[in-house]
Amino acid sequence: MSQKLSILSWNVNSIRKRLDGFARLVETTDADVICLQETKVTNVLFPAGEIAAMGYPHQAVVGQAGYNGVAILSRWPLHDIERHHHCDRDDARHVSATLLPGDGVPTETPVSIHSIYIPAGGDIPDAEKNPKFAHKLRFIDAIADHFASRHGFRDPMVIAGDLNVAPLPADVWDHVKLSKIVTHTPIEIAALDRFKRSLAFIDVVREIVPADDPVFTWWSYRAADWQVLNKGRRLDHIWVTTPLKDRIAEVEVLTDVRRWQPPSDHVPVLLRLHPANLETVP
């Protein structure tokens, strides 16, 4: 078994508006599994047939009309598909599924994959004044509790999604200015760190790229000259549990996708895993 397992995550910001871009992304990356966020469409209207024809007949889709929405699209069968609810809301923000080696997947044990879209949190970074920000913090805590209570450190797992937090100083264009802006405030970073520690998740981008090297995955639509200004943030992440750490082969942030028309304000993150035997935590 020599084939790498490739997993891509993209906040598509409406799959129907960017279906041509999705097709181009498939052609460019040939990813095995694609996790989407902000599909912005109900399950009934999700372009399942078109995406199946592109090579992804196995689909775990959780949609809502006009906003939110997550999906896992795969070349191989998806098992144990589950929609998860947090904070007593019916939002379409978290779906999971499992790949099994018996289906021809280049892995020796089951791998659980989660596509997650954490709430943005509004504009005011004050939980008392801004209910959206308060909900964001509750959501991160709830999802951390979810993983800690339902999974173990030895479970091979991939989390892919728009986590809406840029945790490191080099994850934003200006650490000092952005520390007072939602997505990079100390309280959000601390909450995300608790989530990360719930199963000792490994940030695959920062496993490859030094922590002080700038990496961005999001640029505002408000800046027409976004490439020149480069006022970005790293909001999109792929994490793995320790059993998959030694299998990290390649990680790529596909910045060029931001130039495609019509653009999403987010760009995809691509992870390729070696098919070597999985190591377990001692």
Task: Tell me what pLDDT residue 65 has.
Answer: 86
Q: Are strands 218-219 and 232-233 parallel, antiparallel or unpaired?
A: antiparallel
User: Is 280 inside any structural domain?
Assistant: no
pTM of the model: 0.95
* Cα 106 to Cα 116: distance, rounded to the nearest angstrom: 23
Task: Tell me what pLDDT residue 2 has.
Answer: 46
User: Is 242 inside any structural domain?
Assistant: yes
Amino acid identity for residue 250 in this structure: E
Top mean-pLDDT range of 157-166, 214-223, 271-280: 157-166
User: Is 278 inside any structural domain?
Assistant: no
Percent of the chain with pLDDT over 70: 97
pLDDT digits (tens, 9 = 90+) for 191-242: 999 999 999 999 999 999 999 999 999 999 987 788 888 999 999 999 999 9
User: What secondary structure letter does DSSP report for 243?
Assistant: G
Task: Tell me what pLDDT residue 227 has.
Answer: 85
pLDDT digits (tens, 9 = 90+) for 69-91: 999 999 999 999 999 999 999 89
Task: Tell me what pLDDT residue 76 has.
Answer: 96
The predicted model gives 167-182 an average pLDDT of 98
* Cα 91 to Cα 94: distance, rounded to the nearest angstrom: 8
The count of structural domains within the chain is 1
User: Is 181 inside any structural domain?
Assistant: yes
Number of residues that make up the chain: 282
pLDDT digits (tens, 9 = 90+) for 37-48: 999 999 999 999
- Residue 280 reports pLDDT greater than 90: no
User: Is 257 inside any structural domain?
Assistant: yes
pLDDT digits (tens, 9 = 90+) for 96-126: 999 999 888 988 889 999 999 999 999 999 9
* Cα 124 to Cα 122: distance, rounded to the nearest angstrom: 6
Cis peptide before 243 (omega within 30 of 0): no
User: Is 52 inside any structural domain?
Assistant: yes
Q: Which band of pLDDT confidence, cut at 50, 70 and 90, is reported for residue 276?
A: low
Angle among Cα 242, 232, 228 to the nearest 5 degrees reads 140
Task: Tell me what pLDDT residue 278 has.
Answer: 42
State both tokens at 216: 């961005």
- Residue 1 reports pLDDT greater than 80: no
Task: Tell me what pLDDT residue 104 has.
Answer: 86
- Work out the number of other CB atoms within 10 angstroms of the CB of residue 151: 16
The whole-chain average pLDDT of the chain stands at 94
CATH of the domain at 229: 3.60.10.10
Residues 6+ apart with CB under 8 A from 106: 1, 2, 3, 4, 5, 273, 275
User: Is 282 inside any structural domain?
Assistant: no
Could you tell me which residue, 2 or 237, shows the higher pLDDT?
237
Residue showing tokens 């992870």: 271
- Work out the number of other CB atoms within 10 angstroms of the CB of residue 205: 22
The domain of 50 spans 5-273
Task: Tell me what pLDDT residue 224 has.
Answer: 76
Task: Tell me what pLDDT residue 277 has.
Answer: 52
* Cα 91 to Cα 84: distance, rounded to the nearest angstrom: 9
The predicted model gives 42-67 an average pLDDT of 96
The predicted model gives 12-32 an average pLDDT of 97
State both tokens at 202: 């490994």
User: Is 281 inside any structural domain?
Assistant: no
